């Protein structure tokens, strides 16, 4: 358990770290759809726009039970990652708009990071269409750099 699991990251975007009901099943969501995703699944999926600081953007369909990192990799888009368990923060992105759910606690992020919209893409599943800033520059904002 962690204290701010219900916190949302601000207006126009939200990071939720649960989303499952008391039985552990995924909770109902108004944004469900039966369309077929690019991964061939028939479950709910959302358009996730990945935004790099140099202005590049890529849009990927990501299943609701798939992480943003996995969805990007499935499309051949390389994003930084390390542990894939929410522990190292190498995969940090910053949510611009939309909703993401952390499927497991984003241990590498401090509460102030989560409140500022930072997310861990290795454990983040989309709950709506969303836009996320990605790339190594986003991760570097989390720590102070004594050489800068
Ligand atoms: S890859 Fe380590 S927290 Fe995501």
The predicted structure's pLDDT at residue 26: 41
User: From the alpha carbon of 120, which atom of ligand 1 is closest?
Assistant: 4
The predicted structure's pLDDT at residue 117: 97
The predicted structure's pLDDT at residue 41: 56
DSSP-assigned letters across all residues of the chain: --TTTT---BTTEEEES--B-TTSSBPP-TT---PPPTTS--S-EEEEEEE-TTS-EEEEEEETTS-HHHHHHHTT-----SSSSSSS-TTEEEEEEEEEEESS--TTS-HHHHHTTEEETTSEEESS-EEEE-SHHHHHTTS--TT-
CA 141 – ligand 1 centroid, Å:
15
CA 34 – ligand 1 centroid, Å:
30
Residue nearest to atom 3 of ligand 1 (CA): 86
The domain of 125 spans 13-18+42-140
The predicted structure's pLDDT at residue 109: 96
117 assigned to some structural domain: yes
The residue ranges of the chain whose pLDDT is under 70 are: 1-42, 145-148
The predicted structure's pLDDT at residue 38: 53
4 assigned to some structural domain: no
**Total number of domains constituting the chain:** 1
What pTM did the predictor assign?
A: 0.76
User: From the alpha carbon of 88, which atom of ligand 1 is closest?
Assistant: 2
The predicted structure's pLDDT at residue 110: 95
């Amino acid at each position: 358990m962690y204290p701010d699991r219900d916190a949302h990251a601000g207006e126009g975007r939200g990071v939720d770290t649960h989303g499952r009901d008391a039985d552990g099943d995924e909770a109902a969501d108004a944004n469900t759809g039966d369309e077929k995703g690019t991964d061939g699944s028939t479950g709910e999926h959302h358009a996730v726009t990945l935004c790099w600081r140099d202005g590049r953007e890529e849009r990927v369909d990501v299943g609701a039970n798939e992480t943003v990192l996995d969805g990007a990799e499935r499309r051949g888009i390389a994003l930084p990652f390390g542990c894939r368990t929410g522990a190292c923060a190498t995969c940090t992105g910053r949510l611009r708009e939309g909703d993401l759910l952390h499927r497991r606690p984003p241990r590498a992020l401090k509460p102030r990071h989560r409140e500022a919209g930072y997310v861990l893409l290795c454990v983040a599943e989309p709950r709506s269409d969303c836009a996320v800033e990605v790339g190594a520059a986003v991760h570097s904002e989390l720590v102070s750099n004594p050489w800068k």
